Amino acid sequence: MSLFEKFESLAEQRRELDSAGVDPLGVPMERMLSATEAMIDGRRTILAGSNNYLGLTFDPTCIHAAAMATRFEGTGTTGSRMANGSYNGHLQLESELAEFYGMARGMVFSTGYQANLGTLSALCQPGDVLMLDADCHASIFDGAKLSGADVICFRHNDPTDLGKRLRRLGERVSRTLVVVEGIYSMLGDQAPLADLVSVARDYGAYILVDEAHSLGIAGVTGCGIAESQGVQHQADFIVGTFSKSLGATGGFCVSPHESLDYLRYTSRPYIFTASPPPAVIASVRTALADIRSRPDRRRALWQSAERLHAALASQGYQLGAPPGPVVAAMFADRERALACWQALLDNGVYVNLMLPPATPGGHTLIRISLSAAHTRAQINHIIAVFSQLQDEFAQPG
């Protein structure tokens, strides 16, 4: 018996992938060329699996801000804010995020994962209840686990099911936090947030919305799905990430509750992690300003999403959700999905391969994430490659 014995089934799966000559879970990017292209296996490849929704990773203004911050403030903070203090940028970014969302308080975390881990584990404790949408991201489940609260799941995007489970809690509902997402990353489907928030409010539960995949993409000002569905100011907490539309790494929580500040003294993932480095904070602040001033990027993204979705649907691919920044083609057969993924890469298109059990319904997914930076020619190429492969891989809907 060894520590590594538990990995044997994983090792077997890895050997299968290796024998197929494919490693979809760790593709080497030999050289980044732009927000939408990289050299992979010596070939210029379109990146359509990066979550780089607005293409800001190569935005000259963001790069300049990051470079200046590094020059004048250094490469890192070398510790947590509790120990090493807060840089001006940390405080400014928190203030700007709170103002962007129209909330009283904002708090920055070092990664998006830690934003959920740090918020949920500090907000809830044994005796409290966390009511999670069944399709919530792993970071939400992990934060829930760390909290020690009772975890109950409700059926994905189902307000009636949520209401049924809140009813069963009786008086405990006043110590219950409902957690949902704006756009779910696997299939790219949107939550019926207006209905979910209404149910949570009717029962007297708190509600947290994770806008990781919707910040910068939805809503009049780009705040996300809660804004686009008119319920942003009914949310108790909004969590998000810097690693998608904002083009960096990190995360945040904003809230109308001034008590959010107490998490700074109780949230272990916040307290015991080095704070985001100056370059990250500077580029994120610049990207946030860009989101507020450049709605044209959102429009470009949605136009590409509509066009790609319509094309793939007409080619016979089974898609997981209505048009959006994430377009997921669903496969019942893992080997066919793997072969399709490889064929796409061979034709200069990098997408994500998502394997069960991390996927809804046990499907294997080919997941495309679009960017405002994708050119019309790049979208055309992606559509053309899928078209070449449709006879072999498209399934009747």
Partner 1 sequence: MSRYDEIAGHLRDVLKPYLPADQTIDDDTRLVDDVGLSSMQIMEVMMELEDQLDASIPQNILPEVETFAELVTAIDAHV
- Beta carbon nearer to partner 1, 141 or 302: 141
Per CB under 8 A, the list member of 169, 199, 305, 389 interacting with partner 1 is: 169
Find out whether 131 and 166 touch, Cβ atoms under 8 Å.
yes
Minimum distance from CB of 167 to partner 1 (Å)? 9
Q: Which of 199, 360, 367, 385 binds partner 1 (CB under 8 A)?
A: 360
Exactly one of 88, 356, 384, 392 binds partner 1 (CB under 8 A); that residue is 356
Closest CA to 336 of 368, 365, 316: 365
The residue within the footprint of partner 1, chosen from 53, 154, 184, 386 (CB under 8 A), is 154
Compute CA distances 75 → 19, 62, 143, 281, 318, whole Å.
41, 16, 29, 11, 46
CA–CA distance, 298 with 222 (Å, rounded to integer): 8
Is 355 one of the binding residues for partner 1 (CB under 8 A)?
no
State which residue, 200 or 394, has the beta carbon closest to partner 1.
200
Centroid of chain to Cα 198: 24
105-109 and 251-255 strand pairing: antiparallel
257 binds partner 1 (CB under 8 A): no
CB of 24: closest distance to partner 1 in angstroms? 19
> Is residue 49 within the footprint of partner 1 (CB under 8 A)?
no
Residue 151 near partner 1 by CB under 8 A: yes
The only residue of 164, 233, 268, 299 in contact with partner 1, by rule CB under 8 A: 164
Instruction: Kindly write out the interface string for residues 120-149 of this chain, putting x where it contacts partner 1 by CB under 8 A and - elsewhere.
Output: ---------x----x---------------
Give me the least distance between CB of 106 and partner 1, in Å please. Answer: 30
Distance in Å, CB of 16 to partner 1, minimum:
18
Two tokens, residue 327: 């377009």
Q: SS3 of 35, please?
A: coil
Stretch that binds partner 1, among 74-82, 113-121, 157-165, 319-327 (CB under 8 A): 157-165
Question: Per rule CB under 8 A, is residue 63 in the interface with partner 1?
Answer: no
Q: What is the 3-class SS of 278-346, one letter each residue?
A: HHHHHHHHHHHHHHHHCHHHHHHHHHHHHHHHHHHHHHCCCECCCCCCEEEEEECCHHHHHHHHHHHHH
Q: Identify which range of 162-170, 202-210, 215-223, 237-245 contacts partner 1 by CB under 8 A.
A: 162-170
Q: Min. distance of Cβ 160 from partner 1 in angstroms?
A: 12
Quick one: CA dihedral 356, 182, 127, 142, positive or negative?
positive
**What letter represents residue 69's amino acid?**
A
| Residue 268 binds partner 1 (CB under 8 A) | no
* CB-neighbour burial class of residue 138 (10 A; exposed 0-12, middle 13-18, buried 19+): exposed
Q: Are 143 and 116 in contact (CB under 8 A)?
A: yes
- Binding residue for partner 1, selected from 33, 39, 153, 289, defined by CB under 8 A: 153
C-alpha–C-alpha distance, residues 71 and 38, integer Å: 27
